[in-house]
Structures are given as structure tokens and as C-alpha cells.
Chain A
Amino acid sequence: MSRTRRLLAVCLVLATILAACGGGGTGAPGATTAGKQLPGVTIGSFNFTESVILGEVYGLALEDAGFKYTHRSKLGNREIVFPALEKGEIEIVPEYLATSLAFVTKASAKIGDPATAYRQYQEALRPKSITALDFANAIDTNAFVVTKATADKHKLRKMSDLAAVAGQLTLGAPPECPQRPFCLQGLKDTYGITFKEFKPLDAGGPLTVAAVQAGQVDVGLLFSTDGRIAANGFVLLEDDKKLQAADNVVPVVRNDLLNRAEADLRRVLNGVSAKLTTEALTDLNRQVDIDKKDAKDVARDWLKKQGLIR
């Protein structure tokens, strides 16, 4: 983590402590340490657990800084959420760098390292009056999993191992998979994988987990930070040719919201992103999906432990 970011984080913590001592009511709408009115924000999340958690993490952090937030959770996949962001129905979305870049630019070209991707992403968002803030180190990519039995039977450890046997296997993935460069398209181009059959299920959700477990699909698409991979003893096939790239968590904000409180928004959101790691995400997912805790509670606990909120 860069020194500037660490400094920012420390300042944020100090400011928060000062605010608490200042006697201002906690969470009084619109009241802040500086006494200015902060706008309400609407956060939108995708229809899977991690996105809901991220929505709450960013939202609670903003609330702690004096914003009021509304979290419209589980709206759908990117095909539904991104247009909603463009139309202004939602103002902030915790996005994933590489996949979102590919979606916005309709690109099928391989995307490189995070820094390059980030530059391209910012370029692509400019005409849409949306800004990408700092991206986190936390990465969540598509993960192709099989049961241990399947892995043993076909000797599967890496994605390249699939090329030979994929013609006998069924893939279960979200309905948009055929269109996605990190999904079916990429599998064919990078690995030469063509499955026997594709079953549209859900976005790394219960249908996919259940289908893999029950043997209704041989290979399932989950997300790399999903706690259920370990819990079910699935084998995550290693992405040896690096098809999945740079899917760092990155909050994107509409410019019309950003212009109303730029300094505060950047400070709070970047402060959170600075502390977000892949391990943290995996743990948070596990707590919600497997321990059945509420996303909001889990988010709040994490923020408190990180010293990001009071």
C-alpha cells in the first residue's frame, strides 16, 4: 500500500475520532465534521453475495462519514446494473476492473495488468460521465471448478487440462457466459476449450454450486473468492494461461454525484479500497454464505476492525 494511501487512512481515522469527540450525533443525516451538507447516495450491487457485501462496506463507510446511503442490492447482472448506473437510477457501483472494461468497450482482446487496464477503463468511462476511483488489491475472478471426483477421473488440475476432455463435459455458468470474453469466448480462444453442453444457471450462486455437487454439470463457474469452493471440497482449476486478468474491485461513481462532494467521496471510498484484500473478501463471503450472517453486520465488523469506521 502506498505511503499516501496509508497517510490518507490515518487522517481518516483521526478525523473520525475527532468527530466522535466533537459531540456530533452519530449518523445525523447531512452533518459532518466540517459541518457541510453531504448528499445522499444510491449504491447498486450485482446479484451475488460479494457485491452486496461490497455495497454495504462502501455504504457504511460513507454513512460514517456523514453521507446517507441507500443500497439497492441484488439488482441483476452487469447487463442490468450498468445501464441503471448510466441512467442515474444508481450512483455508485462496486465494479470489477477487467470484466467491466471488457463490457464497456465490448472488447475481446486480452486485458493486461491492472495499471494498464485502469487507464483504459478511465478512458472508456469518460464519455459516460462516470469516474472510476482507486482500485483495490482485492481480486475476484471467474473460477472454473470441478468436484474432486471429476478432477481425479480426468486428471484435471489446470485449465489447459480441460481442452482434451471438454467435449465430453457440461459447463454450468450464468446465462451471459457465452457473451463474455472471460467465459466461453475466452475459453475457446485461449485454451481451445469447447464444451459438449452449456447450462445457463446463475452468477456463481446456489444453482451452480448445487449443480456441480449433484453432478448435473461437470464444470461450474464460481467466483474465486467464494467460500463455498473450499467448503464443498471443489477443485479450482488453475488459470495457467492467465485468461482471467486484473478483476480488481473498483468503485465507480457518477460524475454528477462526484462533483457534489468529490473530496469526501474520494477520501472515504479510496480509504476502504486501500484496505480491501482478496483474503478479506473471501472471509467476508464465507461469513455471509456459509455462516449465514448478514452482509451489513459482516461489513460493519470488518470496517471497525480496519479502523475505517467508529
Chain B
Amino acid sequence: MTPGEPLVRWDWIASHAGEIATRIGEHLILTGIAVAVGLAIALPVGLAVARRERLYAGAVWASGVLYTIPSLALFALLIPFSGLSVLTAEIGLVSYTLLILVRNVVVGIRSVPEEVRDAARGMGYAPRQVLWGVELPIALPVIVAGLRVATVSTIGLVTVTALIGQGGLGAFILDGIQRFFSTPLILGAVLSVLLAVVIDSALAVVERALTPWREPERALARIGAT
């Protein structure tokens, strides 16, 4: 970059600690909203679609197509409708989480053995009790696996929202590019990766705690989810 410029200026990082904390906070909030809203939508949609093969196939196909749309394009196309706002960013971010979460909700629900459902119904469980008491708990590990993937992807996507006027760690990256200043650039890039790794590990612990016997299954699920 600028000749004579060290790769990382540690004093700059020290003096900007407050802004770094703010940006991390912004990044986490944008991510959190996207994943929470995504899950809130994916659960009912996934449940509705789980039984209907055609609808599910259609949903998977549609989501596959949406996933290939470059995120910058999606955000940019939303600007005329929702402006340069958090809403624009969130609509885009939520769309991408939905693609992952709906699939995992469906796979999770479908993984519930029919005998277990029958047994529950036999014991007098109402449909809602079957759902909350039997189906969702069994589907939970797969859903959490999906949450892991969705969260990590979203963290990466939030960096792109800096290009449409949002904050988060992408703002450091953009600043670094604009001023030929490697310190914020590297800082933003490294922190977003670290953030993703930390949150992914935390969710991995949750996932493993839920079902230690499902490790091989999870490995396969992760490939399928790639």
C-alpha cells in the first residue's frame, strides 16, 4: 500500500479501541437481527413445507437461485425501495439466512422417526404438544447446525453492507481501501473472521451438548449444507 507504511499500526488500534468496540457491536446487532428474524420466519415456513414435497422442492430451488445473487446486487436493488437504511441491509441479510434455515428446519423435522410421533399421539398428545414436546426437540440439533452456518455466513455478508452506508466491521475495510491504509483494512478483515470463528465455536458447543451421538450425521449435514 503506501510505501513506508507498516502493515499494522498498533498505536492506531489502541487509540481507536472505542470505535472498534462500536463497530463490533453494530456488526453483532445486524447479524443478530438477521438470524433471529430468519429463524422466526424459517420455523413456520419449514414446518409448513416439511410435509409437502413439491413445495419443499420449490423452496429449495428458489432459495438456491437467490443464493447465487451476489449480495451487493441484492442490497443495491433494495435501495430504491427501502433507502440507505438498516431495513435494506436486513431484508437482504434475512433472505440469505432463510435459504439456509428453512432447509435445516425441514431436514430436522423430517428426521423425527414416525414411530415416535405415533407414540406421542398414542399417549394423547395434541398436535401442538407433539410439535413442541417431541418434534422440535428432536429436530433441534439440525436446526442449531443450520443456525451455525447461517450466523457465520451473515457475519461475512454484514461486511458488504458497509458499501451501502451501514456500519459494522466493513466500515474499517472500506476506510482501509479508500485511504490505502492497511491497518483498518486488516483489522476489519481479521476481526470479522475472528468474530465468526468465536460465535461458530460457541454454537458448536451448544450443538454438541444437545446430541453427542450425532457427530457423523452432523459432518454429513455440513457437507450437504456447503
A contact set with B: CB distance below 8 Å = 47-49, 72, 74-76, 80, 84, 87, 89, 205-206, 209-210, 288-290, 292, 294
Taking a contact as CB atoms closer than 8 A, the residue among A89, A206, A292 that contacts B84 in the complex is A89
Number of chain B residues whose Cβ lies closer than 8 Å to a Cβ of chain A? 18
Q: How many Å lie between the Cα of A159 and that of B12 in the bound state?
A: 41
B-to-A contact residues, CB < 8 Å: 2, 5, 9, 12, 16, 79, 83-85, 164-165, 174, 177-181, 183
**Bound Cα distance A74, B175 (Å):** 9
Known: A80-B79, A289-B179. 11 other contacts (CB 8 A): A48-B178, A49-B179, A74-B165, A75-B165, A89-B85, A206-B178, A206-B180, A210-B180, A290-B2, A292-B5, A292-B183
Interchain residue pairs with CB less than 8 A apart (16): A47-B178, A72-B165, A74-B165, A74-B174, A75-B84, A75-B165, A76-B164, A80-B84, A89-B85, A205-B178, A210-B180, A288-B179, A289-B179, A292-B5, A292-B12, A292-B183
Q: Which A residue's beta carbon lies closest to that of B19?
A: A294
Shortest distance between the CB of A74 and any CB in chain B (Å)? 7
Q: Which A residue's beta carbon lies closest to that of B174?
A: A74
The 3 residue pairs across chains A and B that have the minimum distance between CB atoms: A75-B165, A89-B83, A206-B180
The majority secondary structure among interface residues of chain A is mixed
Chain B residues contacting A290 (CB-CB under 8 Å) are 2
A84 to B84, Cβ gap below 8 A?
Answer: yes
The answer to whether A87 and B179 touch (CB under 8 A), given A74-B165, A290-B2, is no
Given contacts A87-B83, A89-B83, A290-B2, contact A76 B165 (CB under 8 A): yes
Distance between B28 CB and nearest chain A CB, rounded to angstroms: 20
A250 to chain B, nearest CB (A): 22
Write the chain B residue with the least CB distance to A231: B2
